């Protein structure tokens, strides 16, 4: 029976255990892994070359066949940098505590938060439909609460006052602070005291200033040299619109950009709206889940919670 070859960019992760001594740690640098969602790979790159960091599949893409490779690497690793992951995530033993238990004695762990900040994109949200939590809408994976509320028959105003934008930001930062405290992670919430669009390309895709700051703090926690500045944009395939009312709320100098940019091409908000309304008609549980999960933000954007 033939097995599909692993992607080239994951060749070291999937290297034959019989040749592991040749495949990892061969240049004398401490061996490490960065584990988490799509943000983990950007952090791995931002950390530079001080550590020998093996590229690892995003945790939501790990399969049971990956476990022997992951276990082997963790048993050899000097460093694990990881986002918080719950025990038995997706029915696999890849939770943070489970991975830490596989480390060799003396290995170091640094936990980093999942970074989400809504202050620059206050109408955007992530929704997991109960019928299929992996389901995402077409064109862009982010839900616009204005479109979701329209689908529910309760449309929101097209723009939000500055007080509402700032309230959404305040609550978003409070959630980030709670995640940091609950999981004992490196702190990043202070980076967003005076937010700008260079920091967040979307609700959960940080820009280079955030990656450089986070990498410097992880390096400090590990006692290694601070990494050099990045030479290319990270996690930059999707850029959310930059709306005039958000620019005004934060006093930014940016020009408004009404549409999405996905893989270098413009996707208009009108196209997204039509595609997402069709998606909601086919998946009404996504609407119900979004209304419930983001009720507080919807109330603020509707004017009930603005201050």
- Residue 229 contacts by C-beta under 8 Å, 6 or more apart in sequence? 212
User: Does residue 146 contact residue 155 with C-beta atoms inside 8 Å?
Assistant: yes
Check residue 240 and give its pLDDT: 99
CA distance 87 to 93: 6
Whether this model's pTM surpasses 0.85:
yes
Check residue 2 and give its pLDDT: 40
Q: If DSSP states are collapsed to H, E and C, what string results for 219-246?
A: HHHHCCCCCCCCCCCCCCCEECCECHHH
CA distance 216 to 195: 19
The residue written with tokens 């599949």 in the block is 57
CA distances in angstroms from 152 to 109, 143, 149, 280, listed in the order given: 45, 13, 5, 9
Check residue 150 and give its pLDDT: 99
Model confidence band, residue 10 (pLDDT cutoffs 50, 70, 90): confident
Model confidence band, residue 16 (pLDDT cutoffs 50, 70, 90): low
Model confidence band, residue 162 (pLDDT cutoffs 50, 70, 90): very high
Q: Which helix (H) or strand (E) holds 80?
A: strand 79-82
Model confidence band, residue 3 (pLDDT cutoffs 50, 70, 90): very low
CA distance 36 to 288: 28
Check residue 13 and give its pLDDT: 80
| 307 has pLDDT over 80 | no
For 40-45, what is the mean pLDDT? 98
| 306 has pLDDT over 70 | no
Check residue 6 and give its pLDDT: 52
For 44-58, what is the mean pLDDT? 96
Range name among 128-137, 214-223, 257-266, 298-307 with the lowest pLDDT average: 298-307
Residue-wise pLDDT tens digits, 57-83: 999 999 999 999 999 999 999 999 999
Check residue 26 and give its pLDDT: 55
């Amino acid at each position: 029976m033939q097995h599909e070859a692993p992607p080239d960019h994951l060749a070291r992760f999937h290297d034959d255990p019989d040749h592991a001594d040749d495949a990892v740690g061969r240049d004398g640098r401490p061996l490490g892994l960065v584990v988490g969602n799509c943000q983990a790979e950007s952090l791995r790159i931002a950390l530079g070359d001080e550590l020998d960091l093996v590229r690892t599949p995003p945790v939501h893409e790990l399969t049971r066949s990956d476990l022997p490779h992951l276990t082997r690497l963790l048993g050899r690793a000097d460093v694990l940098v990881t986002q918080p992951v719950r025990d038995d995530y997706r029915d696999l033993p890849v939770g943070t505590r489970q991975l830490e238990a596989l480390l060799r004695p003396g290995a170091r762990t640094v936990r980093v938060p999942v970074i989400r900040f809504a202050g620059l994109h206050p109408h955007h949200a992530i929704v997991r439909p109960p019928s299929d939590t992996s389901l995402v809408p077409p064109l862009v994976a982010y839900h616009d609460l204005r479109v979701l509320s329209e689908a529910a028959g309760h449309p929101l105003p097209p723009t939000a006052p500055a007080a509402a934008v700032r309230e959404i930001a305040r609550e978003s930062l409070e959630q980030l602070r709670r995640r940091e405290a609950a999981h004992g992670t490196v702190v990043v919430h202070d980076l967003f005291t005076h937010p700008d669009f260079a920091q967040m390309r979307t609700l959960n895709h940080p820009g280079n200033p955030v990656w450089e700051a986070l990498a410097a703090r992880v390096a400090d926690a590990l006692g290694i040299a601070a990494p050099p500045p990045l030479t290319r944009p990270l996690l930059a395939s999707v850029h959310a619109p930059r709306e005039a009312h958000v620019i005004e709320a934060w006093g930014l100098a940016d020009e408004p950009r009404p549409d999405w940019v996905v893989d270098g091409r413009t996707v208009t908000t009108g196209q997204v709206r039509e595609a997402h309304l069709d998606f909601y008609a086919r998946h009404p549980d996504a609407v119900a889940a979004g209304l419930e999960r983001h009720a507080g933000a919807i109330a603020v954007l509707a004017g009930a919670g603005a201050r």
